[in-house]
Every structure is written in structure tokens, then in C-alpha cells.
Amino acid sequence: MAQQPQHRYAPDNLLASEPNKFDASKLKSEEMIINLGPQHPSTHGVLRLEVVSDGEIVKEVVPHIGYLHRCFEKHTESLPYNQIIPFVDRMDYVAAMNSEHAYALGVEKLLGITDKIPKRVEYIRVLVAELNRIASHLIAVGTYGLDLGAFTPFFWIMRDREHILRMLEWASGARMLYNYIWIGGLFYDLPVGFEQRCREFVTYFAPKVKELEDLLIHNKIFIDRTANVGVLPLNLAINGGATGPLLRGSGLAFDLRKVDGYSVYPELEFEIPVGEGKMGTVGDCWDRTWVRVREMDQSMHLIQQCLNKLEGEHKRTREFDPQALVPKKIRPQAQELYTRAENPKGELGFYFRSDGRSDIPFRCKVRACSFVNLSLLPELSRGVLMADLIAILGSIDIVLGEVDR
């Protein structure tokens, strides 16, 4: 009987599928390569950072991604448009409502039914999307404080986020991955009493934001760790494709809810918070965090306006059917289309190509804001302390489900 070949443990070949960016033989005498991740607790997911350091100083850093790749874009080439929504949920899984909203708007543009969507449906979409925006920002701010050593704000934030998750579960049946916003409508109308529960939450949550500011945002230790750290100049933010709080933290009031005016946002009033350099330099880690906290205030203002509409001129009736325009078969004409929306982390875009013969997209390409924002990490981290690298990464607010897709 032939002897089976012996497979020897070969350390030199362990990274053959994911080679290092930097050559260890070319490092200077005091430099070394350090790997942070892919299981590091402060990388917000399965992310590997390859760092060239000189003692405590970061000389270069390169993100290695792909550990969470789930073939989203390939899946879309074998599924009907309406069956893709659960996969959309699983990209930015802490802001699934916002992602669903962006996707549904895109397919509705393909079908040419954007102007036919009932106003009550649109106000419900904005309502649940803004609730999810608050929940996403709470995760961003709470875990960021945890990265820097602040434990108490994280517990407070998870307590308040739980109220939002329970409301969204009441509406959709799921805590995080909702499949609630459908193409042409909604899975179901809001439950009876949902509007009143939302008003109670806004009344409860408004002072909690002020407490969060006092406890964390204006804490001297937090300011020392984030002010003048990871400064993103505005020209670099624009040229690097940054969007969301990362871009607005650098001082540019660019928000797709205002710029593109999709859904019913043009009918609602809200402001765009931008970084002002109050504690350091415009575009630093503190500014980005402060923008997210201010956006929670604006989301509460938007929620109140949506509730006024849903209890007023667009209140529930027996005749209202949230699925009245939901098509049984989605077969757009042959065309190409790019659509985008303002997610909590930035611009989420979908590029569609339909062949006009099938109810399955010929191509569905995702422009993931977390992926683009993460690409700026090497520029922000060059020359900083190792501890500041974690602070900079946390201030970008990425979700690896969206980075890798």
C-alpha cells in the first residue's frame, strides 16, 4: 500500500493566500511589523491591520479585508429583485432599515413607480430609518467610548438602544435584520399604538443625549484622546471619497437627504451638523463623534415631524394597504441606473443593470460607505501613536459586513 504524503507544518506558507504588504527584510533596524487582528477586540469585526511601527509610532498601516466576504453581488445575479432585500439587511447589519430604504428606492426608480408610492408609506419608511439611524449612532459612540476605556457610557447606550430595537421588532418582527421595507411598499402597516410609543421614546431619549454628552463627549479624558487626533483635511476627505459623518466632521455640510432630496425628506426640516473644531482641529476624531451625537438630535426632530404627518393628514385608514403597489413580478426595462441614499455611515449606492428579459438583476454593484471610508485609514494614521490608531479606526465607524459584502 502506497504511503500517504506527510504534510509538514510550514510557517512560511501560512500567509500565502493573504501576503504581507511590507517586506520584513527591508525594514529599518528599529522598525517591526505588527498584526492587529483579525480577532483584535477593537477592530469592530474581522479586520486585520498590518502595521509597521517604530516603537510606539505608527509608520505605515494597511487594512487587510475579505474575512467576512459573503458574495453579495454574486448572489444578486441569481435572485429576483424582491428576494435580495434580506441580503441587503446583512451588509450594515446595525442599520438594516436604512439599507433597505436605499435599495427599495433604487428598484422603484428602475420600475418608474417612485412618484406612485403612497405618502404614508414614505413617512413610515423615514420614521423607521431615522430610528435605526439613532440606533446605529448609539453603537458607534458607545463602542468608541469602550475602545478608549470608558465603560459606563456603553452600558447606558445599550440600554437606550434596546428601546429602539423593541419598537422595530414590534413593527417588523425582527430585532436587527428586518425585511420590512419592500419594493413598492412595506411588509405591514405600523402596529396600533406605535406612534404613541415613538413619542414616549423621544420624550425619554432627549435628556439622555445630554447626559451622554456630559459623561463622554465633554469628558476631559475623552477630549485628550480624540482632539487633534486623526485629523482629516477637507480636501483629502473629498478626494478620498469620504461620506457621512466622516466627511461632515471635516466641515462640509453634505447630506444626501438634502442634496438629492429623496423620499419625503424635502418636506421635512432638519439641519446638517458639521465639525467646527471646538475642542481641537476641524476634522479630528472628536469632531466626528460630536457630529454623530448632533445627528441623533436631528433624527429625533425628523421622527416627531413624521409622527405628526402619520397622525394627521396621512393617518391610518381601513382602506390603506401598504402592499398595494408591491409588484408580484419585477421585470424592469433594459437600463442602467445608479441610486444612492444617506446611511448612518455615509453614502450607500447601488448600481443596477437590467436586461429587460428577466426578474433577476444582470448586475447589482454596491458602493459601500464603510469600504470607502476605511481606505482613508493609512493617511489618517501615519505618524501617530499606536493607541491613537485604535482611536482613529473607531472614529471612522465601519461595519465589516458592509466592507467585505
pLDDT digits (tens, 9 = 90+) for 167-198: 999 999 998 899 999 998 899 999 999 999 99
Which pLDDT value is given to residue 35? 86
Q: How far is CA 336 from CA 133, 167, 353, in A?
A: 29, 37, 4
DSSP 213: I
Q: Highest mean pLDDT range out of 7-11, 104-108, 315-319?
A: 104-108
Query: Are 389 and 229 spatial neighbours (Cβ–Cβ below 8 Å)?
Result: no
Mean pLDDT value across the chain: 89
**CA distances from residue 211 to 125, 158, 179, 214, 225 in whole angstroms, order as listed:** 29, 14, 33, 5, 20
Cell of 107: 428598484
pLDDT in tens, 376-399: 999 999 989 998 999 999 999 899
Note whether residue 18 is domain-resident. Answer: no
Cell numbers for 401: 459586513
- CA dist., res. 365 & res. 349, Å (int): 8
Domain count, the chain: 1
Quick one: average pLDDT of 152-165? 93
Domain that holds residue 149: 76-375
**Position 16 pLDDT exceeds 70:** no
Domain assignment of residue 33, yes or no: no
Amino acid 33: pLDDT? 86
Cβ within 8 Å of residue 308, ≥6 positions away: none
Q: Is 322 helix (H, G, I), strand (E, B) or coil?
A: coil
**Strands, E assignment, 117-192:** 181-182, 185-186
Q: What is the pTM of this model?
A: 0.91
Report, as an integer, the average pLDDT of 56-82. Answer: 90
Amino acid, single-letter form, for residue 130: E
Q: Please give the Cα distance from 58 to 259 (Å, whole number).
A: 37
Query: Is residue 270 included in any domain, yes or no?
Result: yes
Residue 262 CA to residue 259 CA, distance in Å, equals 9
66 confidence band (pLDDT: 50, 70, 90): confident
CB 258 within 8 A of CB 312: no
- Residue 14, amino acid: L
Question: What's the pLDDT score for residue 17?
Answer: 53
- Is 394 domain-assigned? no
Kindly give the pairing relationship between strand 181-182 and strand 57-64.
unpaired
What pLDDT is attached to residue 392?
92
In a domain? residue 97: yes
**Does residue 333 belong to any structural domain of this protein?**
yes
Residue 5 has pLDDT above 90, yes or no: no
Q: Of 38 and 166, which is predicted with more confidence?
A: 166
**207 or 26, which is more confident:** 207
Q: Give the three-class secondary structure for 115.
A: helix
pLDDT tier at 295, thresholds 50, 70, 90: very high
Phi-psi region of 173 (alpha: psi -120 to 50; beta: other; left: phi over 0): left
Q: What is the pLDDT of residue 14?
A: 47
Q: Is residue 9's pLDDT more than 90? A: no
Residue 296 inside a domain? The answer is yes
Cα dist. 153→62, 136, 208, 216, 358 in Å?
30, 15, 11, 7, 50
**How many CB atoms are closer than 10 A to CB 319?**
6
Residue 235 belongs to a domain with what CATH number?
1.10.645.10
- Provide the residue type at 285 as one letter: C
Helix count and strand count (H, E) for the chain: 15, 8
Would residue 382 count as lying in a domain? no
CB 162 within 8 A of CB 72: no
In a 3-state reduction of DSSP, which class is residue 112?
Answer: coil
274 vs 30 pLDDT, higher one: 274
Residue 354 has pLDDT above 70, yes or no: yes
Torsion, CA 123, CA 124, CA 130, CA 133, rounded to 10: -140
Residues in the chain: 405
Q: Say which residues have a Cβ less than 8 Å from residue 328's Cβ, sequence separation at least 6.
A: none
